[in-house]
Structure 1
Amino acid sequence: MNYAIVFRLLGYILLCEGGLMAFPAAVSVLYGEWDILGVFLFTIALCLVIGGLLTRIKPRSKIFYMRESCVTAALTWIVISIMGAVPFVLSGAIPDPIGALFETVSGFTTTGASVLADVESLPMGILFWRSFTHWIGGMGILVFLLAVLPLTGGSHVNLMKAESPGPQVEKMVPSVQATAKILYGIYLGMTVLQIIFMLAGGCPLMDTLLITFGSAGTGGFGIKNDSMASYSTYIQVVVTVFMILFGVNFSAYFYLMRRKWRKAAAIEEVRWYLGVVFAAIALISWNIRDLFPNLLTAIQQAAFQVGSIITTTGFSSCDFDQWPSFAKSILVVLMFIGACAGSTGGGMKISRFMILAKSIRKEIAQTLHPNVVAPVRVDGKPLDQDTLRSTNVFMAAYFIIFGASVLLVSLDGQGLVTNFTAVAATFNNIGPGLEGVGPMANFGLYSGFSKLVLTVDMLAGRLELFPLLMLFVPETWKKF
């Protein structure tokens, strides 16, 4: 383990976090929240001092491999969450450190699960920071670091692989830094576009910014106690469209920008994703048609919830916990499916389900015809055995951790549906579950122990399990 390069990168991360915290500090000044400003200035100073000291470490070698990349990714999310929780505790918004850590991890991992019952009572500076963590975490803090800092040495693509969601991570252009800049350029451009559409619908500026942060990062922290229910149909439709768009693999947007229409259309995962979205909307709309004044409203509400759940955003426009069991069951299934790889969405990813479905079909074909060679193909190209193996191992590890988490949180004595969907909502970085953690409830009912379990689930889900699991393997920490 090259400890020096890991600590140096963590130093840069803290410097970035301190710089980004200047935005909520400015909002505090704008709203005259001087006590909140003091909290942010203290936290910024803490980030800069610790980060500055860590960046002074001079590693003998600037080369880092997958081991260093995974450890850096896992420690990055832990460190920024601990530091990001400081304003919540010092301001008194969430005085309980475990609750504050839960809220911050939920923000950075773009989960959107909250322990707060009354978000409208929060100071605007804290409310801004809470939602801004979604936007920071959406594309990934290490991808941001690669985009803005001229890091030299090592295999930088390993950092991107360790943090980026999905079974495969490819460079769009030969340079990793250029790829990171392209990703953030697309991310920022789509964010600005949503802001324009929201403002055009008469949404207040601050509401527009905070809702857009949640949509872009597919996070879903509501800034109203009823999440999105009190906003106009136009605003809900805009948010629906952009939630679904942010769940698309960003490679498709890159090809569209380069006018490579056929390559964009050839991305099989995107076609599967859109097919699942439209099928779910159709089925749920039919099932809930009697709950709304007309079919059009039912379709609009179904589309919002489907877009929110499959992209793991977690906004809610109504209390879908009151919907029929069939509609709720579809939403629970969507919690696991998730969005595309290479998007800001969470979940297990459409690509993995696509690979598993094709693997099952291959096994059936080879059972019927043992001599037939039937490779698993994605986008017309055969997948290598490493990708197939990693997909199978991921799924096995996923369900083992999921089952263990449900058992651990069940010690609190909550109902099975509450516990099951609480783990599903946090592990898949979604936000709301059903019953006790439904769209109009929160996670404050759980004990500190259960909140820590769910916090680990959020981190594991965002990091695709293995970077976090590597922290608990003794072999990881051996020096070379």
Structure 2
Amino acid sequence: MKKQIVLRVLSFISLIVSLSMIFPLIWAAVDGSPDLIAFILALGSGLLISGVLFLLSRVRRKDYEKLGLREAFAVVTFSWLIASTVGALPYVLSDFIPSYTDAFFESVSGFTTTGATILADIEAVPRALLFWRALTHWLGGMGIIVLGLAVMPFLGVGGMELYKAEVPGPTPEKITPRIQQTAVFLWGIYVALTLIQTVLLMSGGMDFFDAITHSFSSMATGGFSPKNASIGHYRSSYIEWVTAFFMFISSMNFSLHYLVLTGHFRKALRDEELRGYVKMVLLSALLIACFLVLDGFGDFFSSLWQALYHVLSVVTSTGFFTTDYAQWPPVTQFILLLLTAVGACAGSTAGGIKVVRVLIMGRQIRAEVTSLLHPSAVIQTRFNKKVISRKALSSITAFFMLYIGVTVCCTLVVTAFDHPKLDILTSLSAVLASLSNVGPGLGAVGPVENFSWLPAGVKWICSLCMLAGRLELFAMALLFLPSAWNR
């Protein structure tokens, strides 16, 4: 592995994260907040880390072209680690979250767009820190590496390896011929949609601060809100509709946005993953609504909207809420737990296994069952009119097994802490919510609860699950192979 290249790229990632602190620093200055000093110190510390990494690496411009898959996976994994480490500094230095374990948890939750929090009273937190929380969501949503590719053209050919290693989904593809153009386009769409949502939320009565922070969170499908009651604080159907719409479009594959903008609207609508995703959302919402009506939670139409909003919130891995769905009937909570694992579309800001993998796995199972009836038949698994290769099918199967294995092992370890609140539902949902980057879970980590009471060891496990989920498991697992470090 070419460690010099890895260190050099990490220095630029640290620089990007550090310079991003200028925005909350300005907010702290405008508010006259004492957190101004904390952000100045955090900014300086981040720049120092960036400088040290830069000096430790000796890289020529042409060396970036030698960046291979090993280096790409290492860069992506360590980029998220260093971003989370640097991102935790404002929390610690402000003394608002004095424990580094808690600060790191909050930072990882932000950058991985998970939205789990250790803050019990969010509205008591200074606005500069709340802005930083939301900004970490926004930076992590589209991807730190994708942002780096947009502003670091010198990565050249090696940038494609970084793009493949970070973008979620079984087969990430370039949208435009050049990888830098793809990165610039993705971030351009991301910024434009964020601004549009901010304006729409302000039109619904939100002030600028609430509008921009909620826009950051929903575009990144993260879920951090400056209000304790999340979207439920506003009691506004308009705000619920706006956030639901942007949660949905953010959970679509961003290549479909490109098709729509280039006039290929029908082609985008023919996408099998999008169709499967919409069907899953509507069917789940309808089922939950029926159970809510049967249990006396309201009339059908109000129950349907509540169900649809929270299905979207969970399946997109956002985590906004308008009511405590942990109080809903057990069967509805089970449906939400399944949706937590499935997630939304590949190539989006959402977490989870991804709909495309579930659909392909379902078709492969059907093909295997059919082959039992017709042993001599050659049955191919297709998706979007393309034959899925054996290698891709093997990769998807391995991902499912790894996802299940990590979930079971981490849940087992969490329950072993023997905390009175860590029942099996709370333990499982905490791990799943972290691994799928959803945030709120069920039980004692439900939507109106928080993660502050968890033992320190469990917080570190959840933090690692958040990172593993955001990196889709393989990138982090690869670093545990000795062969990945050999030349």
Counterpart of 2:10 in structure 1: which amino acid? L
What is the match of residue 193 of structure 2?
190
Letter in 1 for 2:2: N
| Offset from partner CA, 1:12-59 (integer Å, 9 cap, x none) | 1011111111111111112111x2111111111122222134335322
> How many residues are paired up?
478
Deviation at 1:282, TM superposition (A): 1.2
Residue of structure 2 in register with 1:372 after alignment: 377
* Structure-2 separation of matches of 1:470 and 1:402: 18
Alignment match, 2:478 = 470
d(CA) in 1 for partners of 2:79, 2:193: 26
Describe the SS at the equivalent of 1:330.
helix
Q: Could you say which residue in structure 2 is the equivalent of 1:318? A: 323
Equivalent positions of 1:47-446 (< 5 A) are: 47-56=46-55, 57-59=57-59, 61-62=63-64, 63-231=66-234, 232-289=236-293, 291-413=296-418, 414-446=422-454
Where 1:112 maps in the other structure, the secondary structure is coil
Alpha carbons 2:311, 2:336 under 8 Å: kept: yes
Rounded Cα–Cα distance in structure 2 between residues aligned with 1:206 and 1:296 = 32
Q: CA deviation at 1:473?
A: 2.1
Matched letter for residue 275 of structure 1:
K
Runs of 4+ aligned structure 1 residues displaced above 6 Å come to: none
Q: CA deviation at 1:259?
A: 0.2
AA aligned opposite 2:345: C
TM-score (norm 1): 0.97
Unpaired runs of 5+ residues, structure 1, are none
**Pairwise CA distance, 1:471:** 2.3
SS at match of 1:472: coil
| Alpha-carbon distance between aligned partners in 2 of 1:333 and 1:249, rounded to the nearest angstrom | 21
On the 8 A contact 1:111/1:431 being kept in 2, the answer is yes
| In 2: Cα distance, 1:130 partner to 1:71 partner | 26
Distance in 2, Cα, partners of 1:126 & 1:291: 40
SS in 2 for 1:25: helix
Q: Deviations over 1:194-239 (max 9, x none)?
A: 1121111111111111111110110001211112212112111211
Deviation of the 1:128 alpha carbon? 0.6
CA drift at 1:293: 4.6
Q: Displacement of 1:68 after TM fit?
A: 0.4
* Superposed CA offset, 1:111-144 (max 9, x none): 0011111111101111110111110000000000
One-letter amino acid of the structure 1 residue matched with residue 265 of structure 2: W
> Matched residues in 1 for 2:42 and 2:252: separation?
35
- In structure 2, how many angstroms separate the alpha carbons of the residues matched to 1:47 and 1:134? 18
User: 1:336·1:348 contact (CA, 8 Å) conserved in 2?
Assistant: yes
- Cα distance between partner residues in 1 of 2:226 and 2:49: 32
Deviates most, 456-465 or 383-392:
383-392
* Matched residue type, 2:283: A
* In 2, Cα distance between equivalents of 1:6 and 1:296: 54
- How far residue 294 of structure 1 moved from its aligned partner, in angstroms, is 3.3
Counterpart code for 2:124: S
240-249 or 281-290, larger mean C-alpha shift: 281-290
Question: In the aligned structure 1, how far is the partner of 2:105 from the partner of 2:353?
Answer: 21
Does the aligned pair in 2 maintain the 1:412–1:446 contact within 8 Å? no
Per the alignment, in what secondary structure is the counterpart of residue 412 of structure 1?
coil
Contact 2:259 2:268 (8 Å CA) reproduced: yes
Q: What is the CA–CA distance in structure 1 between the aligned matches of 2:330 and 2:114, rounded to whole Å?
A: 24
Does structure 2 retain, via aligned residues, the 8 Å contact 1:24–1:128? yes
Structure 1 residue 408: Cα displacement: 0.9
Contact 2:46 2:86 survives alignment (8 Å): yes
Corresponding residue of 1:23: 23
Q: Distance in 1 between matches of 2:198 and 2:98?
A: 33
Aligned-residue offset at 1:353: 0.1
Which residue of 437, 456, 459 corresponds with 1:451?
Answer: 459
State whether residues 41 and 93 of structure 2, in contact with CA within 8 Å, keep that contact through their aligned partners in structure 1: no
Q: Is the 8 A contact 1:144 1:180 kept in 2?
A: yes
Q: Quote the Cα distance in structure 1 between the aligned partners of 2:308 and 2:200.
A: 18
Shifted more, 188-197 versus 114-123: the winner is: 188-197
